[in-house]
Amino acid sequence: MALHPDRLLPAEPGVRAIARELYGAVRDLPVISPHGHVDPRSLLDDEPFPDPATLLVTPDHYVTRLLHASGVPLEALGVAQPAPTEAQSRAIWRRMCTHWDVFRGTPVRSWFEHELVEIFGIERRPSAASADAIYDELTARLAEPGFRPRALFERFRIAVLATTDDPCDDLAAHAALAADPTWSGRVIPTFRPDRYLEVGSAGWPERMTRLAEVSDIATDDYPGFVAAMEARRRYFISRGATSADHSHEDVRTDPLEGAEAGRIYRAALVGEATAAEAVALRRHLLLEMARMSCEDGLVMTLHPAVRRGHHGPTTERFGADVGADIPIRVEFTDALRPLLERYGTHPGFHLVVFTLDETVWSRELAPLAGFYPSLYVGAPWWFLDAPEAIRRFRRAVTETIGFSRTSGFIDDTRAFCSIPARHDMSRRLDAGWVAELVAQHVFDLDEAAEVMTDLVSGRPTEVFKL
């Protein structure tokens, strides 16, 4: 198992030569990660990572989902189980290696290879036969100081790492890291209020109580809730946050008239809001979040339209984020219109829109971002963070908005060790696309080099206000 230096670059030799040059110029630039799910405590504590299964298999739903589809039960991968014994971890690892062939052609395989070869120096291709030897090699590496979180953070050349955090989180880990004189990395929180806007969701009244506690603002009426949310956003900003992330079933932003928001809010507090009212209030609140972003400057990002926990029995038994989330169709043109009519030209407001429904790239998102100064098209995400999907993305949006109205790459990962692999893949694919344009004489090589640097450094820095 080896990583070919030209992997994922276009096959045609002329285009590949251009792509190789463009990629080479950005390959070693620092990683900017404005949206992800790494736990900041791992960097604060800097303890050695646990066993190979717990590091690389169990928590990564990209990995567990396809193994599950291939007949491996989630519990046999350690999902929602106590920390594995050495024998259990080895068995989990062996199950993954035994099914190595099911990952052929997927980015999970490419990322995994990158991690094993580049980070851990593994040279054997995973298989039932090689599983134990690789396990032993990994275990040995993980015990070395150079494989602790902080050492890897530095080795990965991470310039900024954004985490995703609950509005009531005290962000203690972020503060401690920032205060640590032995640490110079930039790890910033992201305000993620989904569960506070879904007023019909289980536990929502309790969350309001907690919100009142941490904000010291009464949340027994709607103005109090708004004030408390604004306060928490300010708190996040004071701890380095630059963006707020939102993921709901849709992105409608219809305002509620006059006292209606307050009425539904109070009904929800006592569990008496109807499902339709809860949705109406959430849509209104999404609009409110945009207003707050105009005022406090937090970049607003949208990741909508996923049916979470599609398989009820799995959710009940194993919880969320185990691979059973399935995208649905989404609509932006009409849904975002109330928001964009109000704030789409607001100076300094940044709205970054992601999608798992590719049909909106050329039909809705690029046209929107090609008019509204505040709207940026987010990079391909989740299922679409993959070579062919990234190519489709660039082909779908570039002709309407060029490069400047796109967000730059986000890795959105909870798999810390996959960060370099994911960013490297993105750089290779963007280099390939830009090289194709150069080969077709759409623009010149000097411009192409500018585009590449802008995509890797300029876009995320500017769009996410880093």
The footprint of a copy of itself on residues 65-84 (CB under 8 A) is 65-66, 68-71
Alpha helices by DSSP H, 376-444 = 387-401, 419-439
Give the nearest distance from C-beta 279 to a copy of itself in angstroms.
16
Q: How far is the CB of 31 from a copy of itself (least distance, A)?
A: 22
Nearer CB in complex with a copy of itself: 145/312: 312
Identify the helix (H) or strand (E) that includes residue 295.
Answer: helix 275-296
Q: SS3 of 175, please? A: helix
Residue labelled with tokens 């999404």: 286
Binders of a copy of itself in range 365-394 (CB under 8 A)? 366-373, 375, 383-384, 386-389, 392
**Smallest distance from a copy of itself to CB 403, Å:** 6
Of 209 and 345, which CB lies nearer to a copy of itself in the complex structure?
345
- For residues 189 and 241, give the distance between their C-alpha atoms in angstroms, rounded to a whole number: 5
Which of 39, 45, 180, 358 lies at the binding interface for a copy of itself (CB under 8 A)? 358
Q: Which is nearer to a copy of itself, 372 or 464 (CB)?
A: 372
Alpha helices, DSSP H, located in 27-106? 40-45, 52-56, 61-69, 86-98
Select the span of 90-98, 146-154, 296-304, 352-360 touching a copy of itself (CB under 8 A): 352-360
Rounded least distance, CB 33 to a copy of itself, Å = 21
Q: Total number of residues binding a copy of itself (CB under 8 A)?
A: 91
Residue nearer to a copy of itself on the CB measure, 254 or 331: 331
Q: What is the CA radius of gyration of the chain?
A: 23
User: CB of residue 111 vs a copy of itself: minimum separation in angstroms?
Assistant: 12
In the complex, least distance from residue 283 CB atom to a copy of itself, rounded to whole angstroms: 18
For residue 300, the 8-state DSSP code is: E
CB 434 → a copy of itself: shortest distance, Å?
A: 8
Residue number, 174 or 428, with CB nearest to a copy of itself: 428
**Is position 251 an interface residue for a copy of itself (rule: CB under 8 A)?**
no
Dihedral pair phi/psi, residue 326, rounded to 5° = -130, 130
Does residue 426 belong to the site contacting a copy of itself (CB under 8 A)? Answer: no
Closest CB 460 distance from a copy of itself, rounded Å: 18
Site for a copy of itself in 132-151 (CB under 8 A): none
Binding mask 295-314 for a copy of itself (x = CB under 8 A): ------------x--xxxxx
Could you tell me which residues come within 8 angstroms of residue 393 by beta carbon, excluding any fewer than 6 positions away?
A: 358, 361, 379, 380, 384
To the nearest whole angstrom, how small is the minimum distance from the Cβ of residue 405 to a copy of itself?
6
Closest to a copy of itself by CB, 5 or 146: 5
Q: Write the DSSP assignment of 311-375 as a string of letters.
A: SHHHHHHH-SSSS--EE-----TTTTHHHHHHHTT-TT--EEE--S-THHIIIIIHHHHTT-TTE
271 binds a copy of itself (CB under 8 A): no
Q: Looking at residues 430 to 449 of the shown chain, list those that interact with a copy of itself (rule: CB under 8 A).
A: 436-437, 439-443, 447
Sign for the pseudo-dihedral over CA of 189, 191, 194, 196: positive
Enumerate residues 40-69 that contact a copy of itself by CB under 8 A.
65-66, 68-69
Using an 8 Å Cβ cutoff, are 364 and 330 in contact? Answer: no
Distance CA 319, CA 312 (A): 10
CB 174 within 8 A of CB 40: yes
- The rounded distance, in Å, linking the Cα atoms of 85 and 318 is 19
Residue whose C-alpha is closest to residue 95's, from 79, 116, 117: 79
Taking the C-alpha atoms of residue 297 and residue 349, their distance in angstroms, rounded to an integer, is 7
Residues 184-213 that bind a copy of itself (CB under 8 A): none
One residue of 7, 141, 157, 186 binding a copy of itself per CB under 8 A = 7
